[in-house]
Chains A and B, each alone.
Chain A
Amino acid sequence: MKLEVSGLNSHYGPAHILFDVGFEVGAGEVVALLGRNGAGKSTTFRSVVGLVAQRTGQIRFEGEDVSRLPTYEVVRRGLGYVPEDRRIFTELTVEENFTVGRQPPRAGVATWTPERIYELFPNLGEMRKRPGGQMSGGEQQMLTIGRTLMGNPSLVLLDEPSEGLAPKIVEQMADAILTMKREGLSIVISEQNLHFAKLISDRAYIIEKGRIRFSGTMAELEANPEVRDAYLAV
């Protein structure tokens, strides 16, 4: 297993957010973490990379327990994280945003350069010197993914990559994610948009009120309309 999370409990102050969350990601797999707004998807990702201070549970990445490591150490082991709200460095240009994400090449993992990312997202290639704050939402989404890829991760947590994007850009995003998969990357995406998740995912987990309620292949989810309606329908 690439990533194994078990017994994850997280708190914000007095509020208990995640209850014994567990999931697994195999090498080269694309796994979707589905759930409504506020179900705990972003908190799960933030907990995995160590951005939630009050957190217990086990997080094994490539067999190593990373649950006690600071965020930057987790990321340096090849666990990339793309946050929900993109968090572009607005003052920095596209190139400079990539510079921040840059990490040394990693054995056995695809090595990314700005040029390769411009191939993946041609729009970005046309605005290398533009500050991140002067880009559209779709371009920022591409930038934030590219920035994480610059760290040559072997697994990427993608938090709602389709959120708020035009349908055309969403398609482009799905293509890019499938390209990343072909490069051998393991990917976890969190989504509310089942349609988008279906385009790219092998398996899915459903999270609701901080608990995992379902786990199975996309086909199994398809065959379970009551699960879908109970936890995903708006």
Chain B
Amino acid sequence: MEFLLVQALSGLASAASLFLVASGLSIIFGVMRIVNFAHGAFYMLGAYVAFTLTDRFAGPLGFWGGILVACLVVAAVGALMEMLLLRRIYHAPELFQLLATFGVTLMVEDIVVLIWGAEDLMGPRAPGFTGAVTVFGRLVPSYDFLLIALGPIVLGLLWLLFHGTRWGVLVRAATQDRDMVASLGVNQKWLFTSVFALGVFLAALGGALQIPRTTVSHAMDLSIIVEVFVVVVIGGLGSVTGAFVAAILVSELNAFGILVLPKISMVMVFLVMAVVLVVRPWGLFGKPEGTPRAAAGLSIRPWRPMSALERMGVAVAILVAASLPVFAGNYALSVGTEILVFVLFAASLHFLMTVGGLASFGHAAYFGLGAYGAAFMVKFLGAPMELALLVGPLLGLAGAVLFGWFCVRLSGVYFAMLTLAFAQIAWSVAFQWVEVTGGDNGMLGIWPSKWASSPQGFFWLTLAIVVIGVGVLRMLVFSPFGYGLRAARDSTLRSEAIGIDRKSTQWAAFIVAGTFAGIAGALFAFLKGSVFPENLAIPTSVDGLVMVLLGGIETVSGAVIGAIVYKALAIWLMSKTELSKLVLGGVIVVLVVAFPKGIVGFLEDLRHRRRRPPAPDGAGPEAAGYVAKVEAAE
């Protein structure tokens, strides 16, 4: 009993930092509609800067002053990022801001190592809170009690800020209707910058307060960001109170989960999140979004099938690719095969995101399930490659059937978060179910059949499957199913009014996307000869997102180009520089700012502008009225 109480106290202490970071993320999202992936990076920066300052200035004043100054410094960095980067892309699709902040995260990870080194750092103890208090005969650090008290204090201060000051009232107003706030003479630019700075300050505070408890390391950001996403989603995006309650819930789940069900401790939090989202799709304290933003794939320029010339171009490109094994070496071929695999993976995600308007943050789950499916076939049934390639992806399909059923009940950011949760569950199972999956050691020895075992043979096999896969996906776009899917994406109400069942249509799209990702995964397993949990981990999902966004979300097949550019760039950078994350992150940021419509979207814009220089003028007022109403309705 005493032990449980102490465990509960420890959970509460962990909840404090989680709450600080999550409330910052929630506030930023509430007002700016930006899912700030860099929030974990700011948390980490807070810890590092606080470490340096408290290390230099000793004594109580030095310590607490150092923590405060560290948070202010990091908040200033955040404000600078908002002004220099985010301001340029507010009008780009919502996901681009996520991509940009992800790029910043990558950069910060390398910058931190450059400045502070790769070693974990031990921060000083907090003056006045170095001892421990005896609770029921067990020692609890007194610093934990400080943290436990801090949570409600910060919650109260934030409440006062939002309800007692004009700034807070403006922020709450902007959360609901930004245009209206501007129409009342409020300069949103500075409102946004200050909100972002406050959110970053809270993240940095969360990180800085960790230094007396844990070591400071350059992996802190990713370890907290996923948990913070979970907290924010359970609590309800935009709700500070929700973040508080959810932070306690998640921390206690972590504290007790490890005792009660150590086998599935990692899954538990995500299971709770999935349940919450299915029962209350907007989180415990969240409110249904009044004005949903336009779905991801919405495009003003109508899509059309390829012209004869473009078909020829594609045929030539495939022929060139097919002739690669004639002159390329083995290394180039294996790189080429890997790129091809990711072309199919990205194309499947692209289908879901642009045609379906459903941005999945956990698409790697189906990629990884396909890979594990193929590995199971080989390892447990001794199946040859041909059979494993056919049957393996069915595991991805099955995962998509199961997870998709839940996910399509949500939309927008909540959909994205639920897909992330399911991917984490899949990852945790692969990681923890050592008897079957080999856990962290993965599964080895998944080799292709003899005829396809040479790099040339496997390249050709992959090329054939990928070309067919991408072709089928493209045909689906222009099929009645694709039209229905786009209708459901563009207007739920109107598509349902003409008899399209949104949920089952989107579920079908989810399954299609999951299956093709599974095929890519199975190919990947045979390419590498092995399967690891990382195949379905978050970085793989994010890679897919980056490829799709780089290619262009408003295009039909941009993901193909996006995958080739990103994968080639990533592999090349990895071989050229120690600071691959810094360079890759920088490249992503530059691309996002320079090509907010993606590479293919940018090229299409160029072509469009050349063909018809003046602004389109033909549509009459009838059409105009229609569009105006669409805008008004949405």
Q: Does A234 contact B (CB under 8 A)?
A: no
A89-B621 contact given A38-B628, A99-B166, A151-B185, CB 8 Å threshold: no
B628 touches A15 (CB 8 A): yes
B624 touches A100 (CB 8 A): no
Q: Does A96 contact B (CB under 8 A)?
A: yes
A102 touches B166 (CB 8 A): yes
Minimum distance in angstroms from A1 CB to a CB of chain B: 22
B621 touches A14 (CB 8 A): no
B619 touches A72 (CB 8 A): no
A75-B183 contact given A38-B625, A38-B629, CB 8 Å threshold: yes
Q: Which residues of B contact A101 (CB under 8 A)?
A: 184-185
CA distance A209 to B622 in the complex (A): 8
Partner of B181, one of A17, A90, A100, A210: A100
CA distance A14 to B620 in the complex (A): 10
Q: Which residues of B contact A38 (CB under 8 A)?
A: 625, 628-629
A72 touches B626 (CB 8 A): no
Q: Does A103 contact B (CB under 8 A)?
A: yes
Q: Does B574 contact A (CB under 8 A)?
A: no
Q: Which residues of B contact A147 (CB under 8 A)?
A: 184
A148 touches B184 (CB 8 A): yes
A90 touches B626 (CB 8 A): no
Q: Which residues of A contact B170 (CB under 8 A)?
A: 99-100
A12-B624 contact given A72-B186, A89-B173, A96-B169, CB 8 Å threshold: yes
Partner of A71, one of B183, B620, B625: B183
B166 touches A16 (CB 8 A): no
Q: Does A91 contact B (CB under 8 A)?
A: yes
Q: Which residues of B contact A96 (CB under 8 A)?
A: 169, 172-173
Q: Which residues of A contact B179 (CB under 8 A)?
A: 51, 71, 87
Partner of A72, one of B182, B624, B627, B629: B182
CA distance A79 to B177 in the complex (A): 19
1/0 contact string of B9-21 vs chain A (CB within 8 Å): 0000000000000
A99 touches B169 (CB 8 A): yes
CA distance A150 to B185 in the complex (A): 11
Q: Which residues of B contact A150 (CB under 8 A)?
A: 184
CA distance A15 to B186 in the complex (A): 29
Q: Does B479 contact A (CB under 8 A)?
A: no
Q: Which residues of B contact A151 (CB under 8 A)?
A: 184-185
A72 touches B176 (CB 8 A): no
Partner of A51, one of B183, B184, B620, B627: B183
Partner of A14, one of B166, B182, B300: B300
1/0 contact string of A4-16 vs chain B (CB within 8 Å): 0000000111111
Q: Which residues in chain A, 11-60, are within 8 Å of chain B measured between CB atoms?
A: 11-17, 19, 38, 40, 42-43, 49, 51, 54
A15-B176 contact given A100-B169, A102-B166, A151-B184, CB 8 Å threshold: no
Q: Which residues of B contact A51 (CB under 8 A)?
A: 179, 182-183
Q: Which residues of B contact A81 (CB under 8 A)?
A: 183
Q: Does A83 contact B (CB under 8 A)?
A: yes
Q: Does B631 contact A (CB under 8 A)?
A: yes
Residue of A nearest to B629 (CB): A38
A72 touches B169 (CB 8 A): no
B187 touches A91 (CB 8 A): no
Q: Does B616 contact A (CB under 8 A)?
A: yes
Main secondary structure of the interface of B (DSSP, over half): helix
Q: Which residues of A contact B617 (CB under 8 A)?
A: 16
Q: Which residues of A contact B624 (CB under 8 A)?
A: 11-12, 15-17, 210
Q: Which residues of A contact B628 (CB under 8 A)?
A: 12, 15, 17, 38, 42-43
Partner of A92, one of B169, B300, B632: B169
Q: Does B493 contact A (CB under 8 A)?
A: no
Q: Does A70 contact B (CB under 8 A)?
A: yes
Q: Which residues of A contact B169 (CB under 8 A)?
A: 92, 96, 99-100
Q: Which residues of A contact B629 (CB under 8 A)?
A: 38
1/0 contact string of B153-178 vs chain A (CB within 8 Å): 00000000000001001101101110
B627 touches A89 (CB 8 A): no
A89 touches B185 (CB 8 A): no
Partner of A89, one of B180, B187, B631: B180
Minimum distance in angstroms from B621 CB to a CB of chain A: 4
Q: Which residues of A contact B166 (CB under 8 A)?
A: 99, 102
Minimum distance in angstroms from A132 CB to a CB of chain B: 9
CA distance A175 to B434 in the complex (A): 78
CA distance A101 to B184 in the complex (A): 5
Q: Does B615 contact A (CB under 8 A)?
A: yes
Q: Does B115 contact A (CB under 8 A)?
A: no
Q: Does A68 contact B (CB under 8 A)?
A: no
Q: Which residues of A contact B626 (CB under 8 A)?
A: 15
* Most chain B beta-carbon neighbours within 10 Å: one of A12, A73, A81: A12
Q: Does B623 contact A (CB under 8 A)?
A: yes
* Most chain A beta-carbon neighbours within 10 Å: one of B621, B624, B631: B624
1/0 contact string of A133-158 vs chain B (CB within 8 Å): 00000000000000110110000000
A16 touches B621 (CB 8 A): yes
CA distance A40 to B628 in the complex (A): 9
Q: Which 3 A-B pairs have the closest CB atoms?
A: A15-B624, A75-B185, A38-B625
